[in-house]
Structure 1
Amino acid sequence: MSEQQSPGTAAAAAESAKSYFHALTGHEKCSVTGLRVRPEGGWSVLLDVVELSRIPLSTSVMATYRVDIDGAGQLCGCERLRRYTRGATDG
């Protein structure tokens, strides 16, 4: 994989990560919050998702996952990095 990636490739990696994430977890709605090229090729995509919806919404439990996609667009790994309350700020 070359060091320079076209914007379409990054977008395709993000969509691929979201698709794999949905298949693994059942969570349909997630937001891409980070994207970077992996040193060994492919992409590492950060996804934020509501894991537990609560009322008020500011108390919902959120999570950030990292989904790794190889240069061929296949899943390499998926892990939850952190859980937090929607209203929480990084300190």
Structure 2
Amino acid sequence: MNKEPTSLSAGDAASVAVRHLTELTTREPVGVTSVSPTDEGWLVEVEVIEDRRIPASADMLGLYEVEIDLDGQLLSYSRTRRYARGASDPGREP
């Protein structure tokens, strides 16, 4: 019997991805920076606090890509960037 995949909304996919990443890394999420549909499900970018510093503006953050399927199951995750909170452009390096 074929099970129909659950159709996650972008918001639901973001929430599920944050939950998976938090469980795996035990890092505190700051927020979701992007959500994109893929052929297999969703690709979600999540910013997390990697290292707390004093003052908080000196915290080290990480940007993770989390890929989930249409049922919300984790397919993969990886850190794509690590940077200081105060960095003017946390985007990808060329």
Per the normalisation by structure 2, the TM-score is 0.81
Q: What is the root-mean-square deviation of aligned Cα atoms in Å? A: 1.7
Ranges in structure 1 where 5+ consecutive residues have no aligned partner: 1-5
Identity %: 42
Q: In the alignment, is the contact (CA less than 8 A) between 2:29 and 2:46 conserved in 1?
A: no
TM superposition outliers: structure 1 runs of 4+ over 6 Å: none
Secondary structure of the equivalent of 1:29?
strand
Give the Cα–Cα distance (whole angstroms) in 2 for the partners of residues 78 and 29 of structure 1: 14
Distance in 1 (alpha carbons) for counterparts of 2:80 and 2:59: 17
Q: CA deviation at 1:16?
A: 0.7
2: CA distance, partners of 1:80 / 1:21: 10
State the shift of 1:9 in Å. 1.1
Q: TM-score, normalised by structure 1?
A: 0.84
CA displacement 1:16-50 (0-9 Å, x = unmatched)? 10111111011243311111011x23100000011
Partner of 1:82: helix, strand, or coil?
Answer: strand
Number of aligned positions between the proteins: 84
Which moved further from structure 2: 11-20 or 24-33?
24-33
Change (3 A) 1:24 1:11: same
SS in 2 for 1:73: coil
Structure 2: segments with no counterpart, 5+ residues: 1-6
